Every structure is written in C-alpha cells, then in structure tokens.
Structure 1
C-alpha cells in the first residue's frame, strides 16, 4: 500500500525524536506486498537500537501486550499507553485464555512497577464468576484487589467505587489510581454500560484506568483485536501510529502465563503491599506523651489510607461520632486505637474520658486498674463495665449538668465558645464513649425516654462547651424510643464510621461499607452521604504496647486519680465503704447507681418517720440489713430480732428472743433490727406498741429497721395508710412497681425488680421515683473498687 509507505517515509523525521513510537510504527504490515524500502528498514533498526528497553519496561503506564516484528527480523516490545495515556480494550473477553493472560500480565505489570498503595484494583467477571481473578486471591486478602463483581449488584458497587475515585481526584483529595479490569461482562444493562463509557471519558485524567476484555468499542482506549493465531493493535488515543484505523499493526501476543506463576507473583505483591501498608499500634500510639492544645478541637490519628495517615477531629464541624459494625468486625479495636491515641496526645487535664460499655464488659477493661494489673488511663474519669442503663443515664445527665455549669461560667466571663473559655479556665474537653448504646435506649420506658432527652441536649449543645459523644452500635434500627428524635439527635453526628457489617450508619444509598475486610473502616464526615467516603486501614491493638503506654502515663501523671468504676455484674459489701460514709447515724445500705457511685446512706435522725423497711422476698435484703447494722455498731446500740434464724450478726449486737422483748422498756438511742418482721407474733397490744415506737421513737433516737418479705404484711403492721409516714425510708427488692402504687404512689410504677439492685425510697428527700442502688450484701461477693473524693472533685 503506497499510501501507508509514503506516510511512514514522511514521518521519519518525527520518528527519530520518539524512538519507542518508531519501533511500533515501523512494524511490517502483513498486507503490504511491496518490497521493503531500505530507508524504512534502516530507520527501524536505528530506532530499535536506540530504545532503552529497561526504562520502557519499568514504566508502569506502558502495558506489555506482545512484540512487533521489524523488517530486519528483529523484535521490539509492544508497550501501549495506559492510565493517562488511555485504556486498553480487547476484542474478546477473558474466557479466552490468551486474553485472560494478557489482562492478568498487564495488571501485574502495573502493580509491580508502582509504589504499594498507589494503585487499587477492582474487577468484573460476570461471565466466568470471577475465574479470571482466581490466581489473585492473595491480592484480595491484602486489600489491593478490593472487589470482584460477579453479579449486577457487584457491578453497581464497582462502578460506584470507580466514580468515587473520579470525584475524589477532581476534589483534590486523591492522587492514587484505580484500575478497573472487566474480565467478562454478560449482557450489561444500558445504564451500567453508559456509566462505564462515562468513566472511560473522565477516568483518563482523573485516576481511573480500564482494562476492558470483550468490549472493543470502549472509547479512549487502545484496541487489540484478537484473532485465532494473530492479533492487531489499533491507534492508541492521541497517538497516530498509522494513517487510519484500517492500517492496524500486527502483533505477536505473549505466551499465556501459568496459574502458579500468576499466584506466586500475586502473593509477592500482596506481601509487599501488607508490609508497606502496615500501620502498627506502636506507630499510631507512641509511648511518649504529647501536650497538644485542645482549645480548637481534638485530633487523633486513627489509621492510614491510600493517601497516607488519616487523622480525625472532634471540633465544631465534627463534634460527635457515630460508629457501626457487626460483632467481630473490629469495633472494640477501633475504639482502643481512638482512645489510646487521645490519651497519648493530650494531658488528663485537657481530655476527660467517660466510657460506657453496655455488653460483656470487654471494651474498656484496659482503662481501669485490676487485680492483676494496677495500671490505668489517667484521662478516664468514669468507666462503666457491663453498665446498667440507669448508670448510662446518670452519666449523660451529669454531662448535661456540667454543660449548664460551663454555660454559667461562660456568661460570667462574657465568652461564647469553648475555645474562648479555655483562655480563662482550663476545662477539659469531654469525650463520652458508649459501646452498644442501643441497650441504653431499648424499649420505651422512663430510662429510655430520659436518655433520649439527655442525648438530644448534649448532641445539640455539646460542641459549644467541649462535650463530645461517640456512640457505637451494630445498628440504629428498631430503637423505639428514637422514633421521634432520631433525626434531631443523629443529625448532629456528621462523623460516621462504618466497619464491616455496619447497618444504617451510612445513608441508605451509600454501600461503601459493603465488602470491607477486617481492619478496614469507612470514614465519612458528611453524615454518611454517598461520595464522601474514605476507606482507612487501622491497626490491631497490641497488649504489650498498651501496657507500656499505661505505665508511662501513670509515671507521667502520677498525681492523677484512678477512674470511678461501675461494675454492673459485681456485688458490693460494706467493707467497700470509706471512713465517713458509715457509722454514727448513717444507715449504709449500698451505693447509688450514679456517676460518683455515692454512698446510699439515709440518716437516722430524730425527725418523725426515720425508720427503715426492707421489702421483698429476696434473701439478699436480709444481708443488706446485716450490712446496715454492721455500719452502726459500735457507735449505736443495736438490738437484733432474727425471726428467720439465718442472720449473720456482727459483734456488739444485742440479741432479743422476740420483737415484743426488744420493745420492752427500750432505752433512748437504740436501734431495733428485725429479720423476718412479718413473723413477729405480736398481739393487738404489741402491734399498738410497735406502731407507737414507729411514730414516736425517732424523736428520742429509737429507730426500727425491719425486713418484710411481703408488702401487704408490712402495710398491715404499720397501720395501713395511717402509718405510711411513720416509715419514711424503704428499700424495695422483688416487689414490682405495679404493687407499689397503692402504698407509695404512681411515680414508683416504673420499678422493675432485678437481682443485685434495689429501689431506695426516702419520703423526706426530693427524689421523684426513688433511686436505684446496688445494695450491700455479705462479703462472699467481690467488692467493687472505690476511690475517695467527692463526685465534683472526682468527675470533673
């Protein structure tokens, strides 16, 4: 074809400037019958000899697709432009072994010649159910090959990922590349094909490169037509190798690589990617402690993505975080990374941690002193292990009260932001983390309703006062108490963190969390909106390093007090009480379920009605009465009546054979304690005497403490409604709230008995609905550690 030869001759001067193009353009056209022009052969040989083949083979964006033959009989590698230079379109799909080998080799070429993490890979293989990617299992496990679509849903996810890559590149948030390998595509929908064509147009300049098998009409691509025994390569986009598309250049395809070779290369590249991308816990959480300023927000490094290390913030833009992930999805590890990161970057006076675990109690065990390890995180102010819902509510209400206090201080100072407040007073930023927080909001009872109200207050106002929430859960669905408040609360949580198995954390149309592997998380700072996602890898926790961090923190901040610890599963004993919390006129019954774990010790004053009734059939109430008596002696004279025959009485307690005997000529300043009071055996005169002591005894220091196993017998003994004010203090155990209404009032209908808890009702207090306590029981139980100091000093 004279025209083809004339074109090559006219281009000789241009060829000399671009030797690699000369080598391709100088390929012999099989359809050319004319003799070889000596000048053309000479130009080919000169161009071939000047090629730096090592340099060309090292270019990741020149794909090896075979060899061109020169007129002299020599061959040169056929390296077609890729990435910004164009895509690659093959006329057959990867069910043809030659095509599969070509695409697989091209992909390995790119990965081997780029830095680890610089290239991500996604694939489609609907025609062979992923067979073309089978040798690349190691790359999938290493997270390099992020997804292989084998159905329509998978295709949509892959296209979503590629479109996000373009959006991130346009926004300047990403400088890596995504390689989309279409191995086979059975009957693509029109919409999906249009999306691929759009990606082909925009992807060249914005980080998406496509290897399309079986899609020869893909735009912006170098096309290779695969024949039975030959192949031809057509003009790459923007590079006129020939005078027209009809003059395609013959190509010798490479041999088909073996599966073992592909698998071994994939394993090598996967190992390299893991090594380069591994962010160790020690990298994330250094031993040295920082002294960062919390005035404008808290910053913590949580992992690494393809662009480098990722740091997230608690500030006015992202004041609260919502974290979701299935059981075993890495939620606890992520929280440890977050909290240890904060503890090593800021001083305890700058960050105060309140940690609530509503499940098995493993999330925050590293933050508290234990019998085997006395180290702890000094930033932790209160930690709930297997927390009661009431304890979680108490923490939220305490944070709300702290916000009110800070608000008043800010008004007095004439400032309107936390940053301005810090210039006057060093109030710490507060981070409250609640794991499996949906337990706190379960149902639609009083606790759930009050917790929702407290959450809404903190969510709306917390940013102004340096108070931040981190709520972690498997799902947000099915929480009845949130139906009316879900948007108003979670609308204040722009930071969404989705781990594997996360549900309803991201927006319904955002499936970025699908296909995440362990150690990966989707970070979204736009409330879960589609297109604002970053996939981040975070390290596993390291027990030895965590201990070293705690030891270093304890040395550095030796004056810090250990946190208040609420063990939801451990009983209490009176020995847990501190000096000043028991004795004298204080009736130590247990500890309130509040942030400070304050002592539940109503006073036995000389005011009318200061007697105690313990109500319920649980024998633990008898043990609580034992603890109360133990706390009174030896400072008070105590006379005990044991109608059960099972009470364990402390030394110094006088014993009476019956209640009637104990009441005979009772001296002033005497406490009468009765176990099994319903079995008193009093006659009418005895009951009259008993009721008179209840009414008149406190004014001369005579108090009755009685355990009734049945509410009805108690009411009869005190004279019914006429005597209800004569027993002002009650500790309710196994009697449900519905039975309390008639005697105590409608406000106590919420009470639901459960083991290890009791409801303390003091008619002389301002409480409405009583207070939940953990009652003291016998010392066979495991005591709960407790630290000195007032709630105000300890918590804030």
Structure 2
C-alpha cells in the first residue's frame, strides 16, 4: 500500500526513533498487509507501526496543517490515526453529509482542532447546516456565543450569506486588510441550488492562498480537497491534486469515520476555547484611551478604537466615507455602553476645540449623565456643548435647528476662502467637528405633527450636507420601523448612513436579509460599512465601561481645559425654579414664567411694556399655574415693581406682593388700580364678576397698559376666561397666555388653528405672545415652588390693601 506507507513515514519522520523503526517495518509490510494468510512477521511490523503512531499522535494533532480525520483499520482490530492535510495546506470533503453520525463527529473534531491549533482569534468559523438545522454545531454553542463561530446557516438564504462572508474574506485577504483565516464548514447543504455549490467550489480553488479553508460534507467533487468516500461502513480516501499524501491517488487501507468524542469533552473544550477567545478579543475600557490624549487631528476625520476582533483592533471613523452612523440594539443589549466607549474614546483623542458633542437621550435613562456635572460629582467632559437627559422632542428639534444654522455659517466662511471641504476650512479657521448623538431618536419623529415633519426635514439636510461641514450624526434606536414621519424620507436620510452598527436584538439597522445581529451575544457588536449589506459584517467585542477610568479622564480634561464651561443640560423630568435664574435674566418689567425648551434653556418671560394688550392670562387647572404666577410676581417685585395681589383660590403665596386685596373687595378694586401697578390674581374663574365687575376688568385690560397698569391673571376655566374678557372682542386685549393642561382642540377656537397640534403634558406649558410669536408659541417648563416651600401664614386683617399700606 504505497500511499499509506509514504504518508505514515512522512508523518512520523519528525518524531522519534520509534517512528523510524515503524517506517522500516512499513516498507516490509507493503501491499502484502492485506493478503491472506497473514505472515506473523507482518503482524509484528503492524504492531510497531501502531506503537509509533500512538507515540506521535499527540504531537501530530497539535499541528494546524494536519487533522485526524478518522482511523486506518489494520488487522485484529488495530488501527492508527488517519492524518490528512488541513488548514492552510488543504481542504477536506466527504461524500455524505453530517446526517451520518461519523461525519457529524468529524465536523466537531475539525472545528475544535482548527480553533485550538491557532492563536486566539486567529480563526473565524462559518457554518452551513441546512439539513439538520444546525444540530451538528449544537455542542459547540460556547464558541458561537464567543463569536468564534460567526454564523451557522440553517436555510438557503442564510447559506448564501455564509458563502458571501467567506468570499469577502478572500477579497479582504487579497487587499491585505485581514491576516486571519476563515474555516467554512459545510455540514449539510440539503437541496441547495447548483449556483451555491459552484460558489463553494470557486472558494476552494482560491481559498487556500487567501485565508479560507473548506470542510465540505456531502461535496465529493470539492477542488483541492482530500475526499472521504463512504463505502458501506468503511471509507476510502482520495488524495487532493499535488498533495504530498502518497504516490497514488487513493489510500489502499480502509478507513473508519472518527469515533464520536465524549460529549463532556466536547462541551469542556468548547467552553475553554470560548473563554480563551473572549479573553484575547476583549480590550479593557482603559485600552480605549490613547497614551497621548488629545493628539488627534480632525481635519480628515475622527477615528476611535472600539474593540477587537479576530483580525485585531477595530477602529471606526467619522469621515467622508462614513459620515453618519446608525446604531441599533434591544434594551439591555449594550447600546449605552457602546456609545460611552465611542464618546469617551473620541473625547480622549481630540481637544474641545477640535470636537464638539451634542447629546440627546429621548427616553428614561442615564445615557449621558457621565458627561455633565452632578451633585455627586462636579466633573464633566468639556467637549459636551449641550446635553438632553430624557429630552423633549422640542428640545431635540432645537438642537437640530442649531446644527443646521451652524452648517450655514460654515458654508459662508468656506465660500469666502474658496474651499468646499471641511479639511480646507480647517486650513483657515479651527472649527471643531461636531458629533450629535440621539439615543432612541425615533421618539423625536413619533406621530405626524409639526415637530416630526420639521425634524425629518432638518435630519435630511444634515444627513446630505453634514460631511462637507464636519457635522456628523449618530442615531441610535431599538428599531426604525413604523415611524410614520419617515415614510417618504427613509431612503434619502438613511441612504447617507453607510455605517451600520448592530448590537444584540437589533432588528432594522441591517438589511432584511442580514441576520448577523441575531447571532451575537452581549458584549459583541456587528460593524457594517456597506449600509448593512449581508457579507460585509465585522463582529467585534467591546469592553464594559470603567467608572474609575472615566472619572480620571473627566478630571484630567477638566484641569487641561479649566476655562471651558460646563454644558447646558436639559433635564426633561426635573422641575425648574425662579431661584435658579441668572442675574442677567431678571429685568425690570419682565414677568419670568419658566424656562424655554430650547438649546440655551433661556428664561421664558413676558414683557409688561406700554403697548396695547400687554396683559397675561395663565390658563388651565394645573396647580403649577398658580406657582408660575408666584414666580412672575417675585421677578417683578425683585426689580422694584408695584404688585397688588388677590387670591381667590385660598392656596396662593402672596408674600412677594406689595399690596393685597381681600377677595370680597376684588371687584371694587378693579377700577382703582393705580398707574404703574401690576394686578396679580389667582383663580379669576372663581371671582363671579357681575356686569359691572366685568366692565372694570375689560377697561383695565384695554386701557391699563398705556398707563403702566397690567393684569397677570390665572383662570382655571377657558370658557370663564373668554366670557370675562369679552370673547373675541377682547382677544387682542390680552396679548400673552401661558397655556397649561388645555388641549389644542380646545384652545384653537380662541388662539387660532396653528395651535391645534398642542398636546399638554405635566410639567410643560405653551407660552403665547401675540406680538412676538407667529407659529404656535414656545414650549416652556413653568417655574414651580421649590420642594418643601409652602405659603406663609397670614395674620388677621393682613389681606386688605388698607392694612398692608399702613
């Protein structure tokens, strides 16, 4: 049997003296080994061969270029390992697929051998098993969880994707972008189309030289492969072309399929190799921070290290090729951790003058509190310009408007210098690159209202033009399906997002035929720079955050940029108080009512000047209306204004008023308001004004502003308010309104159809100024009483103007 004797002698030559003796015995044995009767001397030689093979089996199994694919059967039940070229030196094929137990055992043995024989993460495994729905790979599940087995296709479409992944490996290897190997294991193909088989054949022809090895079960015609043919319960093996397997093309000795490994061994080895791969692939959070912070140049783009895969470190970029990123992942899938890895990595590589961050979180969570000062920790990331925590949609819209305005400014500067790129702009002026991250951005686009339509238009403009002006978007979400406002613009917006990043549970970030996100585990991410196309995926493992490293970096950056102020922070859930107003926001004659939901969170107020109609109505039964009126009075009296107050609710705090009117004296006092005096009234709907009282009220509204007399009134009932001011005839006499819990359908009859989309919610109000607003008012967070603050006690008789003036 010349093929076997040459294979054995070649394999054993590097072992020990016993292997040399086995070679001599094999020459004596020759083809006579299977003649009858058997010469006892030949049996002795056979035993020498068996002993030599056993002595060297452990060393041979550790050789990545050889695989024990079964056992060569000798006399009296003796056998020696069948070692075939594998890995970089050859493919292996069988005539039957993994529905035969021996072939299934071969699949598991080959995967464990190939993974163990190479450096950690030096090999990727892609499987196809359509006939048994992945059962051949089931005992190797830990390797799949660790990302070593990147995919196991169980249907025809997924099988085509798996082959595409192997084809991309060849292309990347030719382009010298990958140095690892890929093992394509075809356990079963079922009724696969001929075109898929032809693609696998093409891979086999070119794969060995370009990083791909194929184990093709049920593919006996696989090129450049040693082929194991099933003949009854035995196997014949055919040499691959030009392989140093023997002088003939077929091994003369019969071969048995490999015995099924002990299940506990397979499970334990799979776990061991998976843990080894995880340890080698995972960077620590500290590894993401460069040794020389802020050493990056943003002119040509931003680069950040996010993790590692089998080919080495994975770095992502914001540049002309990948200007915007789309990130998807289920709740608990690691999306927040991944975003923190990216943003802290960027902040450590670029100075605040080179990178500006705008961060929006549209749902409950603490995604971006690690960038802002808190009561617990005053440190912050100086790159952050504006941060929204549980942002309102209107706040997100304000940020998008700001970014679009910034693009316009940069466009004008670029025209002045005659350049059309951000790199050219940086050659003249040091504008920073801007990265805007919107987590759960679908909330911003929810519904079919004005906010959604404006946001879509702004996003489309930023997506199309941002790369030229150094403005980049990161939109993160659990899903982008079902967003009504995107129906007509989805392709025009997301077509500008070639970078797709999918975490576990991502459903719509990748193309519909790409299920890579379903095959990764927590701590892994699919990176795809081809718009989510199947076959262009790179699976990386990213580290968990480290609070100590993050704090150390914040403090380091704070010391280096002590002159950079903290970001403006919008807390969507937090009440606001007048006590937090800055000195410059308090002006004479300005009634402060809350904070605008805008980028700069400016104090929202109403100017009480001498123009006709400069009166203010607070409308709605929400108790915060009375508290906002208290804040307005405090702001006015703090700047020297004279304010008379009347409380018709029994719950107002009148301590900041300069005079107080008894409720039963209110109707008479309306006609006696002096020039230069503001009348603040709580609960005017309860005044029950008669005809004379209503006339006095309407006269004050109509003629008072010209002499410096104004009304700030809180009506809890809209119908009562319109009756008191005289309906439509008195509408222009009250130019200002703070609308609380009254829906747009109820107020549009009085204020106009542009307010039909107003949807009230707790902690928000709509500030309308007929003299300043033309398109629906401004959303504000009304001032409320600080926690624990209650109206002060009153003394007998102190609620009349006469006693207060004494």
Query: TM-score, length-normalised on structure 1?
Result: 0.88
Q: Which whole-Å deviations, capped at 9, do the CAs of 1:642-676 have from their partners, x for residues lacking one? A: 11111122345321013224335332221100111
Q: Name the CA shift for 1:516/1:135 in 2 (closer, same or farther; >3 Å).
A: closer
Q: Which whole-Å deviations, capped at 9, do the CAs of 1:699-739 have from their partners, x for residues lacking one? A: 22211111112222222222222322221111111222223
Question: Aligned pair 1:637/2:639, yes or no?
Answer: no
Counterpart of 1:367 (choices 357, 367, 371) is 371
Question: Aligned pair 1:713/2:713, yes or no?
Answer: no
Equivalents in 2 of 1:153, 1:17: separation in Å?
44
Match of 2:672 in 1: 665
Equivalents in 2 of 1:361, 1:444: separation in Å?
25
Match of 1:163 in 2: 167
Equivalents in 2 of 1:664, 1:732: separation in Å?
27
Secondary structure of residue in 1 paired with 2:766: strand
Q: Name the CA shift for 1:166/1:33 in 2 (closer, same or farther; >3 Å).
A: farther
Match of 2:148 in 1: 144
Match of 2:747 in 1: 740
Kept in 1, the 8 Å contact 2:69–2:106? The answer is yes
Equivalents in 1 of 2:260, 2:744: separation in Å?
78
Shift of 1:460: 1.6
Shift of 1:694: 1.4
| Worse overlay, 699-708 or 74-83 | 74-83
Kept in 1, the 8 Å contact 2:527–2:537? The answer is yes
Secondary structure of residue in 2 paired with 1:602: strand
Secondary structure of residue in 2 paired with 1:580: helix
Equivalents in 1 of 2:535, 2:218: separation in Å?
29
Q: Name the CA shift for 1:638/1:175 in 2 (closer, same or farther; >3 Å).
A: same
Counterpart of 2:695 (choices 680, 688, 697) is 688
Equivalents in 2 of 1:741, 1:69: separation in Å?
92
Equivalents in 2 of 1:713, 1:546: separation in Å?
56
Match of 1:196 in 2: 200
Match of 2:383 in 1: 379
Equivalents in 2 of 1:734, 1:560: separation in Å?
39
Equivalents in 2 of 1:188, 1:731: separation in Å?
68
Counterpart of 1:617 (choices 609, 618, 621) is 621
Secondary structure of residue in 2 paired with 1:433: strand
Shift of 1:431: 0.7
Q: Which whole-Å deviations, capped at 9, do the CAs of 1:115-152 have from their partners, x for residues lacking one? A: 11111123344555545434433322322123334555
Secondary structure of residue in 2 paired with 1:496: strand
Counterpart of 2:270 (choices 253, 266, 273) is 266
Kept in 2, the 8 Å contact 1:521–1:536? The answer is yes
Q: Name the CA shift for 1:287/1:571 in 2 (closer, same or farther; >3 Å).
A: farther
Match of 2:312 in 1: 308
Match of 1:792 in 2: none
Q: Which runs of 5+ in 2 are unaligned?
A: 790-806
Kept in 2, the 8 Å contact 1:98–1:255? The answer is yes
Equivalents in 2 of 1:15, 1:60: separation in Å?
16
Q: Name the CA shift for 1:518/1:354 in 2 (closer, same or farther; >3 Å).
A: same
Shift of 1:513: 3.0
Match of 2:793 in 1: none
State how 1:419-430 maps to structure 2 within 5 Å. Answer: 419-430=423-434
Question: Aligned pair 1:550/2:549, yes or no?
Answer: no
Q: Which whole-Å deviations, capped at 9, do the CAs of 1:530-569 have from their partners, x for residues lacking one? A: 3332222211222232222222222222222111111111
Equivalents in 1 of 2:319, 2:442: separation in Å?
24
| Worse overlay, 346-355 or 62-71 | 62-71
Equivalents in 1 of 2:269, 2:320: separation in Å?
48
Q: Which whole-Å deviations, capped at 9, do the CAs of 1:194-223 have from their partners, x for residues lacking one? A: 443343334333322222345444332112
Equivalents in 1 of 2:538, 2:410: separation in Å?
35
Q: Name the CA shift for 1:66/1:628 in 2 (closer, same or farther; >3 Å).
A: same
Query: TM-score, length-normalised on structure 2?
Result: 0.87
Match of 2:122 in 1: 118
State how 1:310-389 maps to structure 2 within 5 Å. Answer: 310-389=314-393
Q: Name the CA shift for 1:471/1:255 in 2 (closer, same or farther; >3 Å).
A: closer
Equivalents in 2 of 1:498, 1:781: separation in Å?
46
Question: Aligned pair 1:762/2:769, yes or no?
Answer: yes
Shift of 1:185: 5.1
Equivalents in 1 of 2:657, 2:386: separation in Å?
37
Q: Which runs of 5+ in 1 are unaligned?
A: 783-796
Shift of 1:74: 12
Shift of 1:108: 2.6
Question: Aligned pair 1:650/2:658, yes or no?
Answer: no
Task: Count how many residue pairs are aligned between Structure 1 and Structure 2.
Answer: 769
Question: Aligned pair 1:600/2:573, yes or no?
Answer: no
Kept in 1, the 8 Å contact 2:309–2:541? The answer is yes
Q: Name the CA shift for 1:612/1:57 in 2 (closer, same or farther; >3 Å).
A: same
Equivalents in 1 of 2:133, 2:671: separation in Å?
92
Kept in 2, the 8 Å contact 1:287–1:548? The answer is no
Secondary structure of residue in 1 paired with 2:460: helix
Q: Which whole-Å deviations, capped at 9, do the CAs of 1:747-777 have from their partners, x for residues lacking one? A: 2222122111111111111442111111111
Shift of 1:607: 1.9
Secondary structure of residue in 1 paired with 2:591: coil
Match of 1:560 in 2: 564
Equivalents in 2 of 1:116, 1:205: separation in Å?
21
| Worse overlay, 599-608 or 403-412 | 403-412
Question: Aligned pair 1:219/2:218, yes or no?
Answer: no
State how 1:332-481 maps to structure 2 within 5 Å. Answer: 332-481=336-485
Equivalents in 2 of 1:417, 1:781: separation in Å?
55
Match of 2:802 in 1: none
Equivalents in 1 of 2:522, 2:205: separation in Å?
34
Equivalents in 2 of 1:628, 1:287: separation in Å?
53
Q: Name the CA shift for 1:172/1:28 in 2 (closer, same or farther; >3 Å).
A: same
Equivalents in 2 of 1:187, 1:440: separation in Å?
47
Secondary structure of residue in 2 paired with 1:686: helix
Match of 1:698 in 2: 705
| Worse overlay, 312-321 or 679-688 | 679-688
Counterpart of 2:237 (choices 228, 233, 237) is 233
Counterpart of 2:785 (choices 756, 767, 778) is 778
Equivalents in 1 of 2:186, 2:467: separation in Å?
47
Question: Aligned pair 1:514/2:518, yes or no?
Answer: yes
Shift of 1:781: 8.4
Equivalents in 2 of 1:492, 1:125: separation in Å?
36
Equivalents in 2 of 1:183, 1:507: separation in Å?
26
| Worse overlay, 651-660 or 209-218 | 209-218
Equivalents in 2 of 1:568, 1:8: separation in Å?
77
| Worse overlay, 276-285 or 716-725 | 716-725
Match of 2:733 in 1: 726
Kept in 1, the 8 Å contact 2:282–2:307? The answer is no
Equivalents in 2 of 1:528, 1:624: separation in Å?
50
Counterpart of 2:504 (choices 496, 500, 506) is 500
Secondary structure of residue in 1 paired with 2:704: helix
Kept in 2, the 8 Å contact 1:287–1:549? The answer is no
Kept in 2, the 8 Å contact 1:571–1:781? The answer is no
Equivalents in 1 of 2:671, 2:773: separation in Å?
35
Q: Name the CA shift for 1:208/1:616 in 2 (closer, same or farther; >3 Å).
A: same
Q: Which whole-Å deviations, capped at 9, do the CAs of 1:40-92 have from their partners, x for residues lacking one? A: x9xx99xx99x998875543022233577999x99986432123432112345
Q: Which whole-Å deviations, capped at 9, do the CAs of 1:560-618 have from their partners, x for residues lacking one? A: 21111111111111112111322521110001110000110121112221111111122
Q: Name the CA shift for 1:256/1:746 in 2 (closer, same or farther; >3 Å).
A: closer
Kept in 2, the 8 Å contact 1:28–1:69? The answer is no
Equivalents in 1 of 2:587, 2:192: separation in Å?
81
Shift of 1:462: 1.4
Equivalents in 2 of 1:118, 1:438: separation in Å?
39
Kept in 2, the 8 Å contact 1:234–1:248? The answer is no
Shift of 1:33: 7.5
Q: Name the CA shift for 1:665/1:165 in 2 (closer, same or farther; >3 Å).
A: same
RMSD between superposed Cα atoms in Å: 3.5
